[in-house]
Amino acid sequence: MKHILFSALALVLFSWPVVAANDLPLYSKIYDDKRDPFKDAMAAIELAQQSERNVLIEIGGNWCTWCHKMDAFLEKNPDIYQKLHQEFVVLKVNVSDSNENEAFMKALPPVLGYPHMYVSTAAGKMVLSKDTAELQQDGQYSRERWLSFIEQWKPKA
C-alpha cells in the first residue's frame, strides 16, 4: 500500500512542469528601474491568459532589504518557488528614488511597505492587495503562510 501511495505522489510531483529561472521573462526575475511597468503588465496579462494563471505583481526594489529576504526565502524553498511560478505570472515592479513609477502606482491601492503584492486575474481584475509581512512568522517568511497564500489566490478551476 505504501508503495502505491509513494508512486502516486511521485507521479503527481514529477508531472508538474519545472519552472527554470532562465525560462522566466526578465520582469519576473528582477526589479529594473528602466523597465516600463505598463508594457510589462500587458505582457504578463497576455502570458497569464495563455497559461491560465493569475498575475502576482510584486512592488519593491533593489534597495529593499525585505525584497532580498523574500527572494532568498524562495531560493531556499524551491518547491514554493516552483509552485508560485506555476500558479502565477510574477511581475516585479521597481519603485526607487531613480524611478518611482508614479503613474503605474497611482492605478493601484496604496502601499504601506515593501515588498507589497497584488494579485490580478488573467483578465486584469485586481483581487488582492497584500502586505508581505503577513507571510512572515517570528520575523521570517513562513513556508506554511506562503503555501496557504498560493493555494488561496491561485486561479480557480
Residue 52 sits at the vertex; the CA angle it makes with 61 and 72, to the nearest 5 degrees, is 30
* In a domain? residue 49: yes
Question: What does the pLDDT read at residue 93?
Answer: 98
* Residue 23 lies in domain: 19-153
Question: What does the pLDDT read at residue 112?
Answer: 87
Question: What does the pLDDT read at residue 157?
Answer: 75
Q: Which residues of the chain have pLDDT under 50?
A: 1-16
Task: Read off the CATH number of the domain in which 119 is found.
Answer: 3.40.30.10
The number of domains in the chain is 1
* In a domain? residue 10: no
Question: What does the pLDDT read at residue 16?
Answer: 44
* In a domain? residue 131: yes
Question: What does the pLDDT read at residue 18?
Answer: 58
The label of the residue with cell 505583481 reads 57
* In a domain? residue 57: yes
* In a domain? residue 5: no
Cα gap 123→155, rounded to integer Å: 11
* In a domain? residue 112: yes
